[in-house]
A and B are shown apart, each in its own frame.
Chain A
Amino acid sequence: MSQILPPGHTEASLRAGLAAMAKIVGDAHVFTQPEHLAGFRDPYSLDAEAFVPSAAVAPASVQEVQALVKAANEHKLPLWVVSCGRNYCYGGAAPCLTGAIVLDLKRMKKIEVNEELAYAIVEPGVTYFDLYNHLQATGSSLWIDCAAPGWGSVMGNALDYGVGYTPYADHAGFQCGMEVVLPDGDLMRTGMGGIDGNPAWGAYKHSFGPSLDGLFKQSNFGVVTKMGIWLMRAPEMFISVNVTVPGDEDCIPLVDISRELRLAGHIQGAVTAGNWMRTICSRTTHGAWAEGSDKPLNETQIAKLVDHYKIGRWNATFGLYGGAEVTPLHLKAVEAAYARIPGAKVTHTVYRRGDKIGLADTLSAGVPNLLCFTTLDWRGGSGAHIEFCPVLPMHGETFYKRYRRSLGLFTEYGFDCFSGVLSTTERAAANTGSIIFDRGNAEQTKRAEALFHALVKSTEEDKLGVYRTHISFMDAVAKTFDFNNGATMRAYQQLKDALDPNGILSPGKSGIWPRHLRKARG
């Protein structure tokens, strides 16, 4: 196998750069062998030979990160920054630019917890499991809010606008303070961290002057080496609630009522709703219901499946959190509100502080797991998925209209429509959509890619924006932000050119390319 090279480099120039990096981190933490680089490829890629790194390097400290960034500038080597590199449905550790060197921050695993003010400062390599286990081991009264799956990076997920399931589900929104290595190797801290030793760095989000935290989310303007994240005080009572509604159109009142309950403060946690496919695909397979057909399930087959598993056409889950006296009152309000939907069923489970949380409720209680992968066997073979998640206002009719459009496209391209509402704030939701396919089936993989492009085009027409996307589609999604002929991207490019003139940090992230590679991208 021939050596993958960064654009404009020879084997000799790459080797020289890697030798400089090995002097910083040690030979053992520079990876060039194929068996080591295999894990830095995208396991669910639409094209197995795309997005391949030339090498990977793993620093252990912020000082090593600074030195590596300086070396990358000196040798003009592109780096692709990952925290733990486990964002699998969006590309994992694989770089946008083939030949980039992955800067793997997994070895940086420091955790500091402020129990009184309820926050933690974490380094990039801290996973949800790590932070949860740390809090358990120290007898903390704090809960985390975790994404699914729990082996992902707390920081990496928040910086990519990832989400969870408790009242702290908006991970980027509960970020407070950062330490950042800038593309020239300089080190800065945002917010009150701009004062050395300031005691409010993890407690107060703003700065004096412009707050720069947003510049380092979903971006390639710096390497975040520490991040503050607010944590929830363990509630006295947590009630897990499930709502099922019988009809497809019942998602309209389901969404509207959920919004009002959130705005009224009765529901504090994220509302997660899904159609039949999102609800059940983790427990069964397409093949079990399709009667030998490769096509999406038809209405008769869906009705049989829904009846068998006793689920609704739409199903919502969320948590209620708070004191033991007031939380049951919120439950009363919740039950009364959803009862307005004919045929709706509301069930709940009550947990008091210290109770063991049931498996189905673990994410809503900040207990990490790896259960989400069970959806991937829906089509059998080498199960893979691409996520397509436009942001919608939390408005029932708008959501249903978007859902019907997506349903039409999924069906046209031969896939069952996985559709969900993930409302981490009161006013908007990500319309989660998963294209689950068998990566070992070339024809199916091609259709999955075509479906994704069709979905992007349809959101462009509907004037909707996608909140995160796979490295394959970052350019396509970035182009949909068309206000004033792409003014947003022009602003990003100005920032990129000013902060990173050599273009060494994560070229292509969110469609932001350095000047020397921009023309080729069009």
Chain B
Amino acid sequence: MTIRTTVAALLAALACGSALAQADAVQRGEKLFSSAHCIGCHAATPGNIGTMVLTRRLGKEKSVLAERADLDPAFTKAIVRHGMGIMPGFKPTDLSDAELDDLAAYLGRKR
């Protein structure tokens, strides 16, 4: 096996590992979205203030967070920590930094 082949194989393994790690983060983030009360305000069903306000401000197509494809993880993390409008900020005792990374990965996942 040449050096080039070895390096290519190593890079492929790293990329595969990174993709798996990302997939795990997205899966954990999806669970958090339900259990950390995000869904209580951001579900697609009636009575959800987050979805309701986003509909009024941005239109129906951008109102359901879990269905959007434009949520940058850094933006998500800033909003969750600092709040925006009616939404309060979430403390590290509500969501740790690691959990917030997973949540941001879920909402920022490529579809």
In the bound complex, residues from chain A placing their C-beta under 8 Å from that of B86 are 373, 376-377, 382-384
Closest chain-A Cβ to B76's Cβ sits at a distance in Å of 13
B91 touches A104 (CB 8 A): yes
How distant is the Cα of A149 from the Cα of B46 in the complex, in angstroms?
A: 16
B85 touches A39 (CB 8 A): no
Closest chain-A Cβ to B59's Cβ sits at a distance in Å of 15
Stretch at the interface among A85-93, A245-253, A459-467: A85-93
Query: Per a CB cutoff under 8 Å, which of A92, A107, A369 touches B88?
Result: A92
Q: Report the count of interface residues on A (CB-CB < 8 A).
A: 40
Instruction: Kindly state whether residue B60 has any CB partner on chain A within 8 Å.
Output: no
Main secondary structure of the interface of A (DSSP, over half): loop
Q: Using an 8 Å CB-CB cutoff, how does the interface string of A418-459 with B read, 1 for contact, 0 for none?
A: 000000000000000000000010000000000000000000
Stretch at the interface among B6-14, B22-30, B48-56, B65-73: B48-56
B92 touches A39 (CB 8 A): yes
In the bound complex, residues from chain A placing their C-beta under 8 Å from that of B52 are 374, 377
A106 touches B94 (CB 8 A): yes
Closest chain-A Cβ to B32's Cβ sits at a distance in Å of 14
Instruction: Kindly state whether residue B83 has any CB partner on chain A within 8 Å.
Output: yes
Main secondary structure of the interface of B (DSSP, over half): loop
B81 touches A36 (CB 8 A): yes
Please name the residue on chain B nearest to A44 by beta carbon: B88
A230-285, CB < 8 A from B: 282, 285
Instruction: Kindly state whether residue A313 has any CB partner on chain B within 8 Å.
Output: no
In the bound complex, residues from chain A placing their C-beta under 8 Å from that of B83 are 38-39, 43
How distant is the Cα of A149 from the Cα of B49 in the complex, in angstroms?
A: 12
How distant is the Cα of A505 from the Cα of B54 in the complex, in angstroms?
A: 40
How distant is the Cα of A56 from the Cα of B91 in the complex, in angstroms?
A: 10
A374 touches B49 (CB 8 A): yes
26 residue pairs bridging A and B, Cβ less than 8 Å apart? A31-B91, A35-B81, A36-B81, A36-B92, A38-B81, A38-B83, A39-B81, A39-B82, A39-B88, A43-B89, A58-B93, A93-B91, A106-B91, A107-B93, A150-B40, A359-B46, A370-B41, A371-B47, A371-B49, A373-B86, A374-B47, A374-B49, A374-B52, A377-B53, A380-B56, A383-B85
Q: Given contacts A38-B81, A39-B88, A377-B86, could you give 16 more A-B pairs where the C-beta distance is less than 8 Å?
A: A31-B91, A36-B91, A38-B82, A39-B89, A39-B92, A43-B88, A44-B88, A58-B93, A125-B93, A129-B37, A369-B40, A370-B48, A370-B49, A371-B47, A373-B49, A440-B85
